[in-house]
Each structure stands twice: as C-alpha cells, then as structure tokens.
Structure 1
C-alpha cells in the first residue's frame, strides 16, 4: 500500500482512522492530533471531521467527539505491519528503526513508533 497523495485520498483515510479509534469518546484536540498524522491542513482537517459526522462515524458535542464505529477497531495482528529501516515517526518526529504502519482500506498510515501507533489508533492515551 502507498501513502495517500490526493486530498480525497487523505479525507477518506482520515474518516476511516476516526472510525477505527478504540475510544468511545475523545476531545477535539485528541482527534486533531490523530488527523495530523495524515494532514496538517486546517481546511482538510475540518473537512475530515465534517465528512465523519455526515457519514455517522462521529457525533460532535462542542469540543467532544463520540465515536460511532460499530466495533471496527484496528486489528493489530493483521492491520499493523512492522518494517525495519530508517524512519521518522509521523506523529512525534522521532527517528525509529522499526516503523509501524496501519493498513486501512483507504490506504496506509505510518510510519509510527511502537507507542505512537497505539496512541494514533486510540489503544493508549497520552496519560498511559
């Protein structure tokens, strides 16, 4: 799989990422943190959130999001692939030798370090 390059591909990947979060609720800042692994464009971030809401993936209540995913978590055994190499984590910018890539229907997201991939998918929070 390859990294999405068009605006539409990034939008689809962002919506799918939100649909696969392992949290029932999170604040807007946490959602934006995850979306920023795909894009740092404020306009596209807003479009991803709007599309996710229109498609019933999320409900927004002020600065809180409720995920309406229907049990579609990322399957770590099949959807997270580790590759060796010289990478920079898309979330924190750290240099890593093992990159973790999340393979979703809309595209591949990564590389991430081992703790950042857990944060991006919602399996782990900042305080854990």
Structure 2
C-alpha cells in the first residue's frame, strides 16, 4: 500500500526495530523521537502498522509480526558524520552525528548515546 512519506518512514522504522513486543506508549515515544513530533501523524503510523499487519495488539502490548507484512525489508544503515548538530532525541549539542538510513529516507541526527536507545542494536554488531 502506498503511504505518505512520513507514514512510510514510520513503518520502515517499526519494521527495522529489533523487538518482539513493546507497549503502545513505547512505540509512540520511539516514533516521536525518530519520525515526527506530531501525535496525529504518530496515530496514523500506528494505524497503518496495524493494517499492514506489522504489529498486532494482545494483552495491552504490541507484538511485532514481521513475517505477516508485505513491505519490502531494507536493512537500515547507521551513517556517521562529523558535523555540529543537536540530537533529535535529547536536544544536546554534538560534534558527531548519527543518522538512520531507511529505504524511505534518513532519520536523525542522533548522538552516540541516543542512537543506541532506538531498538536497532543489531546494526551496531557490524561496527
């Protein structure tokens, strides 16, 4: 299904998460830190993820059902850049930025501490 760019980034990020289950609040908070601060767009991403079968609700938790969705999985990459920026997650000033490269675009910038809090641990095994 074709989605607006921000919704697609949110779906790509959810697919890339290395988690089996999270609370709806945790997913919404991660989307707020990565994709958009607009709660109405976060609601649209969550709705699209349920419609696509990426997540299912059970016992108050969101369970990730990656095998059920038909989105093409593009393994994201972490891009490191030496530039002065503010972390999208915590707002701190930094000299080295990290970005998440998804099929639908870049997310970031993030500091080295915050990038490791985004449920993408498997990407750091290669570094």
Q: TM-score range by the shorter chain?
A: 0.7 to 0.9
Gaps of 5+ in 2: 68-72, 123-127
Distance (whole Å) between structure 2 residues aligned to residue 34 and residue 58 of structure 1:
15
Q: Based on CA coordinates, which of the two structures has the bigger radius of gyration?
A: 2
Distance (whole Å) between structure 2 residues aligned to residue 86 and residue 116 of structure 1:
16
Contact 2:74–2:103 at 8 Å: present in 1 too? no
Quick check: 1:66 aligned with 2:56? no
Cα distance, 1:30 vs structure 2: 1.4
Cα distance, 1:117 vs structure 2: 1.2
Cα distance, 1:96 vs structure 2: 1.2
Structure 1 runs, 4 residues or longer, greater than 3 Å off: 72-75
Gaps of 5+ in 1: 1-6
- Give the structure, 1 or 2, with the largest relative contact order (CA under 8 Å, sep 6 or more): 1
The residue that corresponds to 1:106 in the other structure is 104
TM-score by length of 2: 0.80
